[in-house]
Structure 1
């Protein structure tokens, strides 16, 4: 047990370092993706395709990377995702140099693999964790994303300097940092995750089975979710929360700008939102471990609902919109940490990788859908209407969470 705990601590350290590197890579490019898309296509109308293609790329990579993890281990899977993102960065530089917008879209899809890798890294933190520490282990890896999220967007000016030195378009300089960071992250995964945490956990499970017992059948993630209520609840909670967050967050800069807010206010609001998403994740991990995963989801859904109702009622105030975005980030963090920990503990270790891949696929599709529908909703209903409409699915999941907790208490009383 002591050996497993030592290995778990080493896994967490490796994942934190790799997440910082991957976060820098993602932050350095996604902050420039919209600008480069507008420049390469010749129209700002296409700028939104940067986030869309990256999100779709993350969704497309989720299940293949999870399948690779089950066959070859986390180190190979995570390193592959990081290298795909690095190739995407190099392809983006090529697309910018040749002014080929379709090639840039392909590059953004590959860059989305970096986001998928970051999401699956949080699950790698749970492979060797005990049930008592699973939430905190996962939360530390989520928290480490904060560093990259803060540093990445600030590499714009250094990127221009590098671009001038290399003779490439100014906006593509940030992608040089991304390619280097993703390559470094891949090396950290390959060299640091030895022995591999998932393969080690599978060996421990095999050793714990009585001699002659049949190994668990390999099933697809969606098949496992169909027969596992707790896992299904966790995935729906993640998807709804992520879709709601993306929908409101993506339209907030537009709303603030249309109401006369300066770029400083817009930037501060989004920065505080990002801080809410990651900075307090260890606190939510502690809540998930001490109070329970479902209780942690309940906290998150309440925060999300409060955020959306604040957006509805306070849309004319920059201060209240900022408060709403902070609550939105905090609610997202609480749900993602708690529901991910619940998902990891709800299924057998041999089934975790495919279920987690399916979860990330559904999560990214929900984010893409939320972002796609948010624009028309803003035009038709305004920012208050967007907040109110988005609150509906969040309220449904909140009621589902309360029902699960009530049912668990009834079962506990009957057992006594």
Structure 2
């Protein structure tokens, strides 16, 4: 029996490398396409919402996309857990495409409810792009996970930086087809999402997550039956896998279930586990947010990590969301899309282009130092952008600083959070952090439109700067020496 297991396991391992190379090439391509689709719509979303519904609710429309991405992550990840990455990614892109079409219809009919529904579903494109990063590490060798995930981040950056500059072209082309102004970019977004979903549906085979689960099930040593619903799937198994688990799918950091849990789910699994193992696998997910909150509440480093991610994102979204509207105050329609494209491209480059350097500094200088450095850049960004008036180069410089500050708080905060909790609860805590980040960004987008209309852009940047005060207080708070997740 042992011989029968060894041969297919070895054969499967020989197949992992070409499967991973194929998966990476496919993800790299679709991330560029998806990045174009997401960003070309976002770059004109606030302008279109201001035209259809008024400036005061322009931020609300932008926040609908953020909320949509967060909400869609729930069914998408549930589908992935049961059926693999491919159907989940395809569904997310398809929903994003439907959202793009609804936004175009809303622009043509000037329907505010349809606009909000379209923007909500448009968040599916963002949800797909985020989930693709986890797909990159399902079959990655442990020593290469970070590099391979970063390749997918870079692919997203390529599409995101290039996309805003296509907005004006898309608008000119589709206006000739009879579409209303500012609707064309969303038509192009829908097309990009459809293309990405079709490519993934046809070519993402074999599914990397299902393949990783089969390998984990094959590698799992036979174990005696434990108590039903025991703690192993949620705690002990992940720690063991991280400490020295075999193969490319150690649990915890990459979203793959522990070997003991996936053995019951894998199509090629043994005959004895199904009656009890799924119960143990589902229990942590059912109590995921409650479990995460209980862990974070007692862990200062985890609280700082979540605060850094959430507050950095809040400041970035609040200022960035209303920058196109600010440019629209002083430029004609013929010029504003071109300028928005340039300014947002520079901003997105600030967010992503230097992320490898930010990661190196995080390891070299420490997590708290980089978080504080990111806060300093966010404050500088608010000062520069808020005092720029209608001077576009100065406003552009402020948006670049805004992107760099976001990168510092995001990279260092995420690193601190991940290392401050045990592997068994890490996925739940990371999901909790993403939820808080999404709510913070959505709230910032909603409120920014009202602040912009009532008090103007300079006041908006001032309030965004004030929002960093709690984060500074947390980062400067003394911590016990040797606390988990803290530098020595």
* TM-score normalised per structure 2: 0.69
Task: For 2:139 and 2:355, locate their aligned partners in 1 and report how far apart those are by CA, in whole Å.
Answer: 20
Task: Report what 2:208 is aligned to.
Answer: 197
Task: Report what 1:61 is aligned to.
Answer: 72
Change (3 A) 1:5 1:182: same
**Structure ranking higher on relative contact order (CA contacts 8 Å, 6+ apart):** 1
Q: 2:44, 2:185 within 8 Å by CA — same for their partners in 1? A: yes
- What is the deviation of 1:16? 1.8
Task: For 2:442 and 2:157, locate their aligned partners in 1 and report how far apart those are by CA, in whole Å.
Answer: 22
Q: How does 1:14-53 map to 2 (within 5 A)?
A: 14-41=26-53, 43-53=54-64
> Structure 1 residue 176 and structure 2 residue 250: aligned?
no
Change (3 A) 1:81 1:370: same
- State which of 287, 290, 314 in structure 2 corresponds to 1:243: 314
Q: 2:374, 2:407 within 8 Å by CA — same for their partners in 1? A: no
- What is the deviation of 1:114? 1.2
Q: What are the Cα deviations for residues 377-414 of structure 1, in whole angstroms up to 9, with x where unaligned?
A: 673983563253122133145347x84885359997xx
Q: 2:28, 2:151 within 8 Å by CA — same for their partners in 1? A: yes
Residue correspondences, number: 405
Q: Counting helix residues as a fraction of each chain, which structure ranks higher? A: 1
Task: Report what 1:382 is aligned to.
Answer: 459
> Structure 1 residue 149 and structure 2 residue 147: aligned?
no
Q: Which has the larger radius of gyration?
A: 2
Change (3 A) 1:132 1:24: same
Change (3 A) 1:204 1:349: farther
Task: For 2:19 and 2:314, locate their aligned partners in 1 and report how far apart those are by CA, in whole Å.
Answer: 35
- State which of 384, 390, 395 in structure 1 corresponds to 2:472: 395
Change (3 A) 1:84 1:129: same
Task: Report what 2:436 is aligned to.
Answer: 362
Task: Report what 2:483 is aligned to.
Answer: 407
- What is the deviation of 1:350? 10
Task: For 1:80 and 1:276, locate their aligned partners in 2 and report how far apart those are by CA, in whole Å.
Answer: 30
Change (3 A) 1:126 1:337: farther
Q: How does 1:225-374 map to 2 (within 5 A)?
A: 225-226=292-293, 227=295, 234-251=305-322, 268-285=342-359, 291=363, 295=366, 298-309=369-380, 311-312=382-383, 315-316=386-387, 322-337=396-411, 340=414, 352=427, 357-374=431-448
Q: How does 1:92-131 map to 2 (within 5 A)?
A: 92-131=103-142
Q: 2:106, 2:114 within 8 Å by CA — same for their partners in 1? A: yes
Unaligned runs of 5+ in 2: 1-12, 227-231, 234-279
Task: Report what 2:266 is aligned to.
Answer: none
- Considering only aligned residues, what root-mean-square deviation do their CA atoms show, in Å? 3.9
Change (3 A) 1:303 1:185: same
